[in-house]
Structure formats: C-alpha cells, structure tokens
C-alpha cells in the first residue's frame, strides 16, 4: 500500500468535521454534499473486500426513495447479496476515521479480515440518476485506484441490475451475461415464453401504466421495451424529464400515502404500478368505478406468486419445500390467507431485507416480500437442478409443462435482490397465465385497516424488542400496556420498534375498522411517548 498516495488522495476527499455515519441495511445515506469522503473510502473498502474474497464486488451509488438532494452508497457481495455484516462494521469505522488514522484502520481491517494484499481486485460500479451521482461515483473510482484495484463502470443502472451483474461475473456467466443486453435478453426471453402459454395469448394486449418515480427505472424500461413481446404495452409516467426524483411519486409515496402519484392519469379499473427511485421496489394499484383507490402491496404480490408457484409445484409432483417470509409489518389478512387457505408455512423475521433473504435461503422455494414492495423468490440449487432436469426429461406431459413454466419463472426472477422490472414481469406473466384481472387479484383477501405512526424520542435505544420485533422487552411496562390496548379492539395487533436511522419509534397497528386501527395506533403512541422518553408535544389524535 502506497501510504503517500493514500495521504495525497484522501486529502482531496476531506471528511466534514463532527460527521458520523452508520452503515445500515441501506448502506450509507445522507445529504449528497456530505458524502464525498465516504465514496472515496468505500472505493478503498471495496478493493479490500474484493481481495479478501477473491471475487468481484459491486458499489451502487444511490439513495433509493430518499429526496433528490440526498445520496448514498451500498456495497454488493459476490453472489449479488448485501455486504456481510462483519464488513458493515468495517465500513462504519472507515467512513468515520479521522484523516490521519486512515492508514492504520486499513491495516487493521487487513489483519482482522485476512486480506491478501497481493491478490487482484475488481469492482463493478453503478449509479442512479441523481444530479450528484456522477461526481460521487468518480470519488469511488479514485478510492479504488489508490489501492491498485481494477474497476468497470456501468454508469446509469438500477440497483438490481448492478446486483445481477456482480452475480453473473462471479458465477462465470452461469447466472447470465454481465451486461445490460444480457439482463434484457434473459428476462424478456423467459417472459415471452411464459406469455405464449397464456389462454388469450394471441389477441389480447396487456396494458400497464408505470410510474417510474422520475428515476432510473424509466431509462432502463425504455431500453428494454424493444425486447418485450408485442402483447405487452407499457406506458411510462414520471420519466424524469420534467419533475424531481421521488417528488410526490414512486412506490414509497404511494404506499405511505395510500394514493396515486402525481403525473399519472388513472382511469377506472386500469392496472397501474409504481417503482421506487432505484427500481428495487414495486407496488400495484387501481381506482374502482366509484373512484376508490386500491393499493396492492408487497404482501399481495407475495400471495399471488405463492398461489402460482404452489400450483405448479403440485402439478410437477415433487416434494419441494416452499415457504413465505414476512416481517411484522405484513398485513394480518395476508398471513392468515397464506397459512389457513393456501396452507403455506409463513415465517416472520426482523425488518430489513437481509433478514428476509437469509431466512428464505432455508427452503427449496423461499418467497419473501416486505409490505413496501421489496422482495423476490429464491430457489435452492437442488430445486433448480431438479426443475431444469424435469423440464427436459419428464415423460408425463403435464409434469413436464409445469416444470417448463417453473424453469422460465426461475430465469425471469432476479434472485439476487428485489427488482421492480423483474417483479413486474413476473406479476404480468402470472396474471396472464391465470387469466386474472388486477381487481380479481386484489379480491383474494381484504387487508385489515392499519396505521403507521412515529413518535420522536430522546434516544431510540431505550426500546428493545424480541420475537422478530413483535414484542417490546424494554422499557419496562410498555409491552403490558400495548397488550391491554390491543384487547380493546377486534382482529387487532400492534407493535413498536426503534427506527434504524433516526431517533424515532415506529408504531404499527391494525384492527377491524380504520377508526379502530387509528385509535389503537394513537393510544400506543401515547404509551411510547410516556414510557420511552418522548420529545416535543405529546402525539395528537
């Protein structure tokens, strides 16, 4: 390591005094103007990680659904998964190190993580459409170069596309070609094969209005459109040419506000969906003839996919183990439907994609979605091998056809991470194959009315939870209070958890009516305010 070069280049990316950041599920995220030093240092870290695991590592410059003036950075591990937790710690140390300690901390990381300095390093870089992203990705490149790493800059890509590229590269092309064309070809070929099987494949066209949050999703969809079969007609809104990223639009806005985005004209019963800013989340929605807005969130997406995969697995006649993984935020109706009607095991884990992904890896087929629309399906190696073998060799027609559909599903799904483009095509294929309208899909079960609130507290660490965040352990008396409040309402439940990013406590409540869900959420928020050191004025109903 050339310590003079490190000193010289590091001085060009100074750390603002007094700034400390924490690497979380979303990597680092804050105001773009505070991130230059972090980008440079994550370039350094990616080289170390690449050398430690002798594989290509990804760096994505994005702040997803945050406002346009924010930015952020995430590292991608060899198989397209999120950065290993032990390295999240190193990322935090490196980002917060004072200038003069940088060399020392790099040496410590190399010792702790057994980094072989003589190995080659390769880093794939991608970025979203934020005005700050290009300059920040240049700082990443600066960091990579100082430590002698090689890099490939993909420029503007969705977050899931970068995850996909990293996985393709490290599986030596087994997962696919590590190019955008490779991604478009693999997904569109699988989608076209599936659509061919649909009952009305010849004559009927599928229309879908897509709100792209004024982000990268619009650019990539327009590149991919020529690859789509002619039956699929997409209409892109909020394409970034006129308005600001995520401003009154995008999946997060629609989910939180339970209303359509700005800039998309909805007609009754039309199928619409929204991506988030970096296209790794998707939600669907429509307006009925009375003008009532219907949101179809991640829970309902997971349910649709589960219904479809369960039928296919049954037809194929193999004893493959399938399960759905949710968080405490999943609507109670979805959990009940999956367990009682569909008879599919459901597992609840802590909030955060890495927890869902990890749990889903335990099954032959693991479906996971957060209610916010981030999710995917994982197939075990053994299950995938079996399905591909049956698609080729099975003598029984029905079993072979079911295996072929599953094989195309495996190719259409981006197993590395939630992917709005891939998930959209999966949903459209299933609706076409099952001959369902978006209204019929919505009617599978009715969501219990719910309410999300947050309460500002002096220190979020006073709240500690257990049972996948469904029960509070501290402060004393809080859980007992919540239990007593929940007893007052029908079909109700409520839980509280500290935010991962700010000093607030998040509250979720559901009940038989919206009025009751609102009342329960408010009563729980008062309990949190009183028992967990609320700040400012008490919550108002």
64 is an annotated ligand-binding site residue? yes
**In terms of C-beta density within 10 A (0-12 exposed, 13-18 middle, 19 or more buried), how is residue 79 classed?**
middle
Could you confirm whether 133 is annotated as catalytic?
A: no
Residue by residue, what is the 3-state secondary structure of 36-105? HHHHHHHHHHHHHHHHHHCCCEEEEECCCCCCCCEEEEEEECCCCCECCHHHHHHHHHHHHCCHHHHHHH
331 is an annotated ligand-binding site residue? no
299 is an annotated ligand-binding site residue? no
Residue 102 to residue 93: CA distance in whole angstroms: 9
408 is an annotated ligand-binding site residue? no
500 is an annotated ligand-binding site residue? yes
What is the b/e burial string over 244-260, where b = at least 16 CB atoms within 10 angstroms of the residue's CB? bbbbbbbbbbbbeeeeb
Dihedral sign (CA 504, 508, 513, 519): negative
Residue 257 to residue 236: CA distance in whole angstroms: 21
Residue 432 to residue 419: CA distance in whole angstroms: 20
137 is an annotated ligand-binding site residue? no
CA-atom Rg of the chain in angstroms: 24
Preceding omega of 79 cis (within 30 degrees of 0): no
Return the residue matching tokens 């000193």.
7
Residue 298 to residue 369: CA distance in whole angstroms: 5
Contact 158, 421 (CB under 8 A): yes
16, 31, 151, 159, 417 from 375: Cα distances, Å: 36, 27, 29, 13, 7
Catalytic position from the list 10, 64, 132, 306: 64
Dihedral sign (CA 472, 461, 85, 276): positive
Query: Looking at the DSSP assignment, which residues form a beta bridge with residue 346?
Result: 324
Residue 364 to residue 239: CA distance in whole angstroms: 38
506 is an annotated ligand-binding site residue? yes
Dihedral sign (CA 434, 440, 443, 447): positive
Residue 402 to residue 312: CA distance in whole angstroms: 5
170 is an annotated ligand-binding site residue? no
497 is an annotated ligand-binding site residue? yes
Contact 428, 208 (CB under 8 A): yes
Residue 158: HSE in the Cβ half-sphere, 13 Å Cα cutoff: 34
The catalytic site residues sit at 64
Annotated binding site for Mg(2+): 64, 276, 278, 280
Annotated binding site: 64, 276, 278, 280, 370-372, 497-501, 506
């Amino acid at each position: 390591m050339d310590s003079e070069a490190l000193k010289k280049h590091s001085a060009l990316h100074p750390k603002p005094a007094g700034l400390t950041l924490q690497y979380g599920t979303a990597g680092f995220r804050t105001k773009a103007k505070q991130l230059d030093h972090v980008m440079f240092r994550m370039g350094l870290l990616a080289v170390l990680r690449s050398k430690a695991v002798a594989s290509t590592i990804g760096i994505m410059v994005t702040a997803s659904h945050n406002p346009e003036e924010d930015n952020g950075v995430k590292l991608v591990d060899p198989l397209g998964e999120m950065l290993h937790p032990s390295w999240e710690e190193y990322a935090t140390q490196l980002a917060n190190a004072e200038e003069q300690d940088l060399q020392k901390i790099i040496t410590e990381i190399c010792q702790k993580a057994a980094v072989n300095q003589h190995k080659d390093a390769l880093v794939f870089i991608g970025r979203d459409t934020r005005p700050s992203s290009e300059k920040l990705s240049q700082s990443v490149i600066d960091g990579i170069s100082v430590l002698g790493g090689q890099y490939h800059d993909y420029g503007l890509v969705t977050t899931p596309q970068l995850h996909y590229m990293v996985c393709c590269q490290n599986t030596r092309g087994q997962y696919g070609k590590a190019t955008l064309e490779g991604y478009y070809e693999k997904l569109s070929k699988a989608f076209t094969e599936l659509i061919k099987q649909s009952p009305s494949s010849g004559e009927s066209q599928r229309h879908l209005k897509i709100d792209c949050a004024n982000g990268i999703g619009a650019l990539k969809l327009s590149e991919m459109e020529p690859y789509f079969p002619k039956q699929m007609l997409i209409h892109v809104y909020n394409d970034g040419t006129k308005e600001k990223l995520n401003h009154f639009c995008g999946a997060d806005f629609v989910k939180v506000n339970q209303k359509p985005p700005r800039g998309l004209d909805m007609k009754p019963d039309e199928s619409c969906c929204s991506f988030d800013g970096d296209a790794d989340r998707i939600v669907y929605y429509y307006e009925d003839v009375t003008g009532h807005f219907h949101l179809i969130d991640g829970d309902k997406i997971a349910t649709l996919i589960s219904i479809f995969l369960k039928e296919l697995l049954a037809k194929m006649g193999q004893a493959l183990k399938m399960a759905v993984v949710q968080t405490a935020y999943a609507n109670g109706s979805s959990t009940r439907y999956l367990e009682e009607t569909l008879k599919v095991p459901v597992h609840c884990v802590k909030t955060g994609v890495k927890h869902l992904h990890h749990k889903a890896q335990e099954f032959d087929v693991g479906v996971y979605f957060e209610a916010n629309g981030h999710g995917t399906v994982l197939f075990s190696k053994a299950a995938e091998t079996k399905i591909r073998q049956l698609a080729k060799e099975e003598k029984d027609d029905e079993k072979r056809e079911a295996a072929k559909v599953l094989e195309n599903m495996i190719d259409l799904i981006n197993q590395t991470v939630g992917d709005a483009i891939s998930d959209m095509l999966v949903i459209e294929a299933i609706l076409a194959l099952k001959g369902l309208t978006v209204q019929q899909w919505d009617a599978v079960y009715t969501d219990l009315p719910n309410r999300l609130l947050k309460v500002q507290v002096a220190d979020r660490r006073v709240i500690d939870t257990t049972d996948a965040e469904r029960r509070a352990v501290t402060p004393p008396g809080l859980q007992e209070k919540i239990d007593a409040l929940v007893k007052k309402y029908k079909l109700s439940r409520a839980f509280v958890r500290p935010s991962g990013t700010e000093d607030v406590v998040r509250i979720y409540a559901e009940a038989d009516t919206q009025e009751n869900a609102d009342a329960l959420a408010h009563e729980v928020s008062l309990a949190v305010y009183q028992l967990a050191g609320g700040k400012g004025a008490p919550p108002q109903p």
